[in-house]
Chains A and B, each alone.
Chain A
Amino acid sequence: MNVPEDLRYTSDHEWARLEDGKLRIGITEYAQDALGDVVFVQLPEVGASVGSGDSFSEVESTKSVSDVYAPVAGTVVEVNTELNDAPQRLNEDPYGEGWICILQLEDESVYSSLLDAEAYRKLIEA
């Protein structure tokens, strides 16, 4: 299972990448594999303010629906509208074209509190 070294992770199977004080967020390869074929993504609204751990997006497959939780507190500044017509990108390229949204962080230091690749790998192999 692919767990890129340069990303941080949550125990809810989201990944996060720090980009100029902003955080790009998606779901992990493990998560998309467990979900099966993704057919719909309910994107958060640009401008929405979210608290750490808030459910702020939903990913639905043919078999189930999963909440996506904000890894940290912040404001949604961009969403991947390509997913409206092509939600299968979450399956095909979860760490690339399957990104879900970008958060403006309130406090950049919280990024380092997220799981690193080694810790996340241990979590999914447990």
Chain B
Amino acid sequence: MVPFGGWEMPLSYPEGTIAEHLACRRGAVAFDVSHLGTVRVEGPDALERLQSVLTNDLGRIGLGRAQYTHLLDAADASVTDDIIVWWVDDERFDVMPNASNTAGVLEALGGADVTAERAVIAVQGPDARRLMGSVAPDAAAVPRFRVAPFTWDGRPAVAAGTGYTGEDGIEVAVPVEVAGSMWDAILDAGVRPAGLGARDTLRLEAALPLHGHELGPGITPLQAGLGWVVSWTKPQGFRGRDALDAERAAGVPRHLIGLSTDGRQPPRTGTPVLVEGRPVAEVTSGNFSPVLGHGIALALLPSELLDGLEAVELDLRGRKVPARVTPLPFVAKQKG
């Protein structure tokens, strides 16, 4: 167990990170992600409040859908938090920030912090829906980026077709009193438990950003390659719009890219990235890819260096290791 944003979280279960990672790519695993916050925003003005603060446009979706969005810093448009919004009922939104950012999101949006009232379990992998079908068929049937209520142990729960692994799957939010029975039923169905270690290597292969690494102070959505999360057309604007407009007009100074090495040695957060022998950036996240069998890394490189850039070097603890610029994601979801 390790401390994580004020929670005690398992880094891995006895099978180990690599086995858990591969189980998610080939079968199905369950993560206890109750550490994610839930801020409930309700009432007749709830939609308008979210629309005027967050970057994405809820007008593109509707009731019963989920949306990935950002909360920006008003002054410099850096990403204060990246968030999933579940549109649960006409005037009810469950906003899910990162564990350590819940207070900031609450301050920006209002609403109620209901994190302690529910547990969230993510069931992910190509077999996730099939195995969940025997546990909670209504939850298992929720399509990708849809949200629907279901009942567990006689209690109201919510399922969403979302996740953070690059695989198909669902996430369920259940009242904390019935969280244990939900977790046990999922494992009894043949889903294997997985910890934070596998969650991190899975999201890295899928090139999904982690706040504090690819997003955070000084990093805007445009730098992170997440311009699609920003609606420039909705009339309400969003917090940080002026600063982001200014960055767009002046030119985005750096961009997130993928790097691959030939060897197994894991690049790490902070590993220097060298272009023509000169340090130009640091790796934001890196590790050994269990699926590819070699090192992979994300880094924010100055935009002026990127034209035609094919190769860099990584300074791995004093050894210069060649790395190739690689299209993202490193590992794409398997079709069918």
Contacts and interface: CB of A to CB of B under 8 A. Distances in A.
A76 B265 CA distance: 22
Interface in A75-126: 87-88, 91
Interface string A60-79: 11110100000000000000
A58 interface: yes
Contacts of B62: none
Interface string B1-42: 000000000011000111100000000000000000000000
A42 B18 contact: no
A87 B263 CA distance: 12
A45 to B, nearest CB: 13
Contacts of A61: 17
B12 A36 contact: yes
B265 A42 contact: yes
Given A36-B17, A39-B264, A40-B265, A62 B317 contact: no
Contacts of A65: 266, 268, 317
B201 interface: yes
Interface string A40-60: 101000000000000000101
B238 interface: no
Helix, strand, loop or mixed for chain B's interface?
Answer: loop
Interface residues of B, number: 16
Contact of A63 (B11, B19, B263): B11
A37 B197 CA distance: 10
Interface residues of A, number: 14
Contacts of A39: 18, 264, 266, 288
B78 interface: no
B287 interface: yes
B317 A63 contact: no
Contacts of A58: 317
A92 to B, nearest CB: 11
B24 to A, nearest CB: 14
Contacts of B201: 62
B197 A62 contact: yes
Interface string B314-329: 0001000000000000
A63 B268 CA distance: 9
Considering residues A36, A58, A62, which has the most beta carbons from chain B within 10 angstroms of its beta carbon?
A62
Nearest to A64: B268
B288 A63 contact: no
Contacts of A40: 263-266, 288
A65 B318 CA distance: 14
Contacts of A91: 16
B248 to A, nearest CB: 37
B30 to A, nearest CB: 19
A62 B266 contact: yes
A109 B11 CA distance: 42
Given A36-B17, A91-B16, A62 B287 contact: yes
Contacts of B12: 36-37
Contact of B265 (A36, A60, A62): A60
Nearest to A87: B264
A62 B268 contact: no
A102 B295 CA distance: 28
Contacts of A62: 17-18, 197, 201, 266, 287-288
Contacts of B263: 40
Given A60-B288, A62-B287, 6 more contacts: A36-B16, A39-B18, A61-B17, A62-B266, A62-B288, A63-B11
16 contacts: A36-B197, A37-B12, A37-B16, A37-B19, A40-B288, A42-B265, A60-B265, A60-B288, A62-B18, A62-B288, A63-B11, A63-B197, A65-B268, A87-B264, A88-B18, A91-B16
